[in-house]
Amino acid sequence: MTTSKIVLVTGAGTGLGRAITHALTAAGHRVVVVGRTVATLDEAVASAPGPGGAEPFQADVTDPAAVDALFAWIVERFGRLDVLLNNAGIFGPSKPIDEVAVEDWKQVIDINLTGSFLCAQAAFRQMRTQDPQGGRIINNGSISAHTPRPHTVAYAASKHAITGLTKALSLEGRAHNIAAGQIDIGNAATELTAGIAAGSLQADGSIRPEPTIDAADVARLIAQQVELPLSTNVPFLTVMANAMPYIGRG
């Protein structure tokens, strides 16, 4: 029997975040869905299946004050946080490295990396001090945390950095019953990856469509991680479309 947990999912209004939310509520968990757009958050909550439930909270994860307000609300509402899933992220512009504007670089790093750090920091602080102590932090990495696509310097750099964040959280979390891991996803079918399915720049300069996988399959894997005891961790998990170009990117 599943023990209901309090789970925070960032970037939960659409795409993979919404699929994860629905997998978790279907398993009986209480999910706080966070994003910047109220309408999509409300849609994600309204369509979430039982027996669990979802509640929306509008917040910009790059804003330290907004993150503090989010975690204060969670503690007031539920008394604790069991799982954080850092899912919010953007691709940024697809351009050669020498054409990427500094402003675009900063936006990708701010959302993908700094936002994940702020939420992980707040979650770590809460999990370390709550009773019973501990919790789980899962960062959404990417295949690009291992091997970049052409013309995605900011995204690739941010996702490589997420791996360092995951390792630091895992190392420091051991003493406080906090398990930290990362899921690296390749071509889950969402609005974010629609262009990849239509045709994506390859390492050899060609443009070819790539296979995708159902986001619900990824969500089920994450739901399984959420239900693991804190004595068990999955430091890194890679899930991808079987025929996508990844090993060697060709």
Q: In this structure, is the dihedral angle defined by the CA atoms of residues 192, 69, 23 and 37, taken in order, positive or negative?
A: negative
Residues 146-180: b if buried by 16+ CB within 10 A, e if exposed: bbbbbebbbbbbbbbbbbebbeebbeebeeeebbb
For residues 81 and 130, the answer to whether their CB atoms sit within 8 Å is: yes
Choosing from 71, 124, 155, 246, the catalytic residue is 155
Selection from 19, 68, 72 nearest residue 43 by Cα: 19
Selection from 43, 47, 55 nearest residue 26 by Cα: 47
User: How far, in Å, CA of 190 to CA of 187, rounded?
Assistant: 8
- 246: annotated active-site residue: no
User: How far, in Å, CA of 183 to CA of 171, rounded?
Assistant: 17
The neighbouring-strand residues paired with 185 are: 239
Question: Catalytic residue numbers?
Answer: 155
